[in-house]
Structure 1
Amino acid sequence: MIVEDSLVVRQLLTHIISRDPRFTVAAAVASAEEALEEIGRVKPDVISMDIRLPGIDGLEATRRIMTEHPTPIVVIADAVEDASLRISMNALRAGALSVVEKPVGVASAAYERIADTITTQLFIMSAVPVIRRRNFGAAPTVAPPPPPKAGAAFQGAAFVALAASTGGPPALAKVLEALPAGFDAAVFVVQHMGASFMDGFAGWLDGLSPLPVSVAEDAAIAEAGRVYVAAGDRHLRIEAGGRMRLTTGAPIASQRPSANELFSSLAEVAGPRTLGVLLTGMGEDGAQGLLDLRKAGGYTLAEHQSSAIVYGMPAAAVRLRAAREVLPLDGIGTRIAQLVERRKRS
């Protein structure tokens, strides 16, 4: 189902989706009210949701759909409008799975790239079960350690690295909201998301976190008590002394920024003083880097299956024994604060 109030954009989305043999357009409607009326009849596998709608907006529509007819939702947003992006991020917290850029006219050089992103995201998200086990009380698990490097032992976290993909924005918001003011570590974030959304995403997190959040800048020195989000379409690597480097190296497993790059760079320069956390996400990015970090003496966490929207990246880490602890999302922020406090006491 396509939900889009602009006739031009609605027709463009219908064209983009209809030409892909994996899809049939079940309905194309101009308002949330129509979508709520039609959803029970057409029973779509996935919904393309405009966020700025007349009447009920896309955020409220997402909340109602996830309550009444749980269905995978991909938000289609204008990346350059701050207000639109804030609503989009809040729609992710309400249950939408992904946010992608609105299509542009067929004459634009970016048309095919954006069209491909839209259909890829819709296809992937159509397979995500949105009626999930959300047993946040699940018991944490502890994995047996892989052989560490000689002399590597965790010393308490001066650096915290968080990585996520599908379902990541609300998960990252929940973790950061749990960190106390006066938090004595620098925090780095890799989130798989379109490059045009990253500034707005960092601004959205900044409005929710007790710690200031900004996009990482090349050559800047990371400061304790601040959160740095990897820039769009750039790998984020950390050098000695907490110096941040943004690189245009080749995508790793189709991802740039890559969680593997962030984790592995910290393993090289600050392994025993680093805490790595791998949250919900499609694919396996971050698992190998988390293993590198654990072998270097870092403390590593992965999100438990009971709370992960997509148990892909954390599952890969568990298979590799890269995660020292596997915790439900509700417990991760508190555990991070404990491990940072350990360094202050030592």
Structure 2
Amino acid sequence: MSAPIRVMLVEDSLVVRQLLAHIVSRDPRLALVAAVSSGEEALREIHRVQPDVISMDIRLPGIDGLETTRRIMAERPTPIVVIADAVEDASLKISMNALRAGALSVVEKPVGTGHRAYEAVSDEICTQLRIMSAVPVIRRRAIGAERARPVPLPDLPARDEAGVLPTLVAVAASTGGPPAFARLIGALPADFPAPILLVQHMGAAFMDGFAAWLNGVVPLAVEIARDGVRPLPGHVYVAPGDRHLVLGSGGLIAVSDEAPVGGQRPSATALFRSVARVAGPRGLGILLTGMGEDGAAGLLDMRMAGAFTLAEHESSAVVYGMPAAAVRLRAAGSVLPLDLIAPRLLRAVQPGGPR
């Protein structure tokens, strides 16, 4: 049997710290090696206890969780799971910025043992700690700065070269998605000529905050997708928490609570398949960093329908799971580091631009 995963808790509230310690202690696959109350203490203890993963409170006295995350990623890179209050706007903003600084995921703070959601929240915390402990993290570097090796791609149905331009972009990610979206969409102009439909795997309670945060850091208008809305150019429509986002008949947005696809709701594959079906060669699909294989099969449907498809290159992906699955399926027409995707996207939507 493998050794348990070493967990360090960083939480200033004694009550919450004790509750987290209890939650971690119930999982035999986890071992609590330190529970500290401040960022300063975390920075001192990390070299001594050498945790495999860190549970990070974001609202800390002194050095807050965002700055603590930055310093850890610079000094001793370690997988970090942010524990945040999903209803506090300030906490959510700091949490999203912590993801940009190198934290891997964000989960809800635990509720009391008598609360009906206690078991679900506890299970999610332990699951995230276990999964993220296996993610290799390195000192922060400029994402996409490496020279990517060309990825050989197969011959599939070619795009219509008779002037067909993408009229809608579908993009999806999981682990590492928020900072990747900030960089990709942040590199697009406010008058970008197509709407963007976006799927991010994240706890339902955080989706409104994620959309509001993204709206504040990119030039385009970002909002939670609503059923029956016609998507507009220069707008980003984010899948609501625990709802599928698809392109419906007549090109209108549709959101639904239909069954998860491949265990995911929202599902990237559900989104991509709907775009393949409704938009055909006028769609453009992008699959970014994330665990698992969601989106790969749907991206293949888009490519077979004549759409332009892209996957993030391994050199910039925080987790090379979803893009790797797309490459294996030969679903990606191009495979590029993150910082090269926006320029390629801009060329693709311009008349006469390369497909």
So what's the TM-score if we normalise by structure 1? Answer: 0.96
Q: 1:114 aligns with which of 106, 121, 124?
A: 121
Query: What is the CA-CA distance between 1:343 and the residue it aligns to?
Result: 7.3
The 2-side partners of 1:81 and 1:235 are apart by 25
Q: Give identity over the alignment, percent.
A: 66
Deviations 1:79-98 (A, max 9, x none): 00010000000000000000
1:144 equivalenced with 2:144 (yes/no)? no
Q: 1:103 aligns with which of 104, 110, 121?
A: 110
The 2-side partners of 1:241 and 1:224 are apart by 16
The 2-side partners of 1:153 and 1:44 are apart by 57
The 3 A distance-change label for structure 1 pair 92 and 154 is: farther
SS of residue in 2 equivalent to 1:315? helix
The 1-side partners of 2:352 and 2:78 are apart by 44
1:217 equivalenced with 2:226 (yes/no)? yes
1:342 equivalenced with 2:354 (yes/no)? no
Deviations 1:213-272 (A, max 9, x none): 000001111111100000000001102342011111111122100000000000001011
The 3 A distance-change label for structure 1 pair 185 and 140 is: farther
* Partner of residue 184, structure 2: 175
Contact 1:278 1:286 in 2 (8 A): yes
Structure number with the bigger relative contact order (C-alpha 8 A, sep ≥ 6) is 1
Query: What is the CA-CA distance between 1:344 and the residue it aligns to?
Result: 9.0
Which residue identity does 1:137 align to in structure 2?
Answer: R
The 3 A distance-change label for structure 1 pair 154 and 166 is: farther
Query: What is the CA-CA distance between 1:337 and the residue it aligns to?
Result: 1.2
Deviations 1:68-107 (A, max 9, x none): 1100000000000010000000000000000011010111
The 3 A distance-change label for structure 1 pair 241 and 107 is: same
SS of residue in 2 equivalent to 1:141? coil
So what's the TM-score if we normalise by structure 2? Answer: 0.93
Displacement over 4 Å in runs of 4+ = 132-135, 151-154, 343-346
Deviations 1:142-197 (A, max 9, x none): 51233579x89882211001100000000011000111121100001000000010
* Partner of residue 73, structure 1: 80
Which residue identity does 1:92 align to in structure 2?
Answer: L
* Partner of residue 131, structure 1: 138
What's the RMSD between the two structures over aligned residues? 1.9
Q: Which runs of 5+ in 2 are unaligned?
A: 1-7
Q: 2:169 aligns with which of 160, 164, 172?
A: 160
1:167-206 matches, cutoff 5 A? 167-206=176-215
